[in-house]
Amino acid sequence: MKPLLIIFSFLTLLIGACKTPEARRPISVSSGSFMNTSINRNIELTAKEETRIQQIIKEDSLHTYISSEGGFWYHYHKKDTVSTSTPEFGDVVHFTYNLKNLDGQLIYSEAEIDTVTYSIDQEELFFGLREGLKLMKEGEIVTFLFPSYQSYGYYGDDDKIGTNIPLISKVTLNKIDKQSTTEIKTSQKK
């Protein structure tokens, strides 16, 4: 009787081991509603900011604004129509700028920020300003209107700029130090 019980147990174990594994079911199912809510909130925020920026542009009859591919607007105070040289990857630019909110209230003055020396696309700088500098030529003065997603976005700057604040910035590009292509290639290899 015992040998029969052992054989039966062995066969049961063998048959049970041949069963294909089943996928485990998740303990909780997420509907994605948080993501949908977040996406809708950001779409509404962007539309509201762009409406406000378009209102500023419409009210400013003295300047002709240009819409950039990056999603911000700008106009020239001083434009160089002769030079074709704009900063490229690795070039070092020296510039001054200020930051205001869309109501024109000064957040940071040029004196507070001082002259900035920045290596194009190799250092930290908020996205809109980084892209705006690439459009400028030496000696030009440009005012940019940045939606919050082009400036400091959700996080702000942990000081004077809060969450989702669109900005106006007047930028003066004082000097462009062109880097030779061999210097750039050497720095990229490091």
Q: Residue 23 and residue 43: Cα distance in Å, rounded?
A: 37
Mode of pairing for the β-strands spanning 73-78 and 167-177: unpaired
For 29, half-sphere exposure in the C-beta direction (CA atoms, 13 angstrom radius) is: 3
Q: What does the pLDDT profile of the chain (190 residues) look like in tens digits?
A: 677 767 767 666 666 666 666 767 767 656 678 888 888 999 999 999 999 999 999 999 999 999 999 899 999 999 999 999 999 999 999 999 999 999 999 999 999 999 999 999 999 999 999 999 999 999 999 999 999 999 999 899 989 999 999 999 999 999 999 986 545 445 555 5
Residue 12 lies in a domain: no
Distance, CA of 36 to chain centre: 21
Integer angstrom CA distances of residue 143 from 18, 90, 101, 157, 185: 72, 24, 13, 20, 33
Q: How many domains in the chain?
A: 1
Note whether residue 59 is domain-resident: no
| Domain annotation covers residue 114 | yes
The helix (run of H) or strand (run of E) holding residue 100 is strand 99-100
The answer to the question of residue 144 being in a domain is: yes
In a domain, 107, yes or no: yes
The residues that bridge with 113 in the sheet, in sequence order, are: none
Structure tokens at 129: 């300003």
Q: State the CATH number of the domain containing residue 100.
A: 3.10.50.40
Residue 3 lies in a domain: no
Q: DSSP label at 37?
A: H
What pLDDT does 182 receive?
45
- 185 found inside a domain: no
Place of tokens 């996080």: 155
Residue 8 lies in a domain: no
Q: Three-state DSSP class for 7? A: helix
Q: Provide the 10 A C-beta neighbour count for residue 173.
A: 24
- The pLDDT, as a whole number, for residue 126 is 95
Q: How far is CA 173 from CA 8, 109, 134, 137, in A?
A: 87, 16, 10, 7
- Domain that includes residue 150, residue range: 64-180
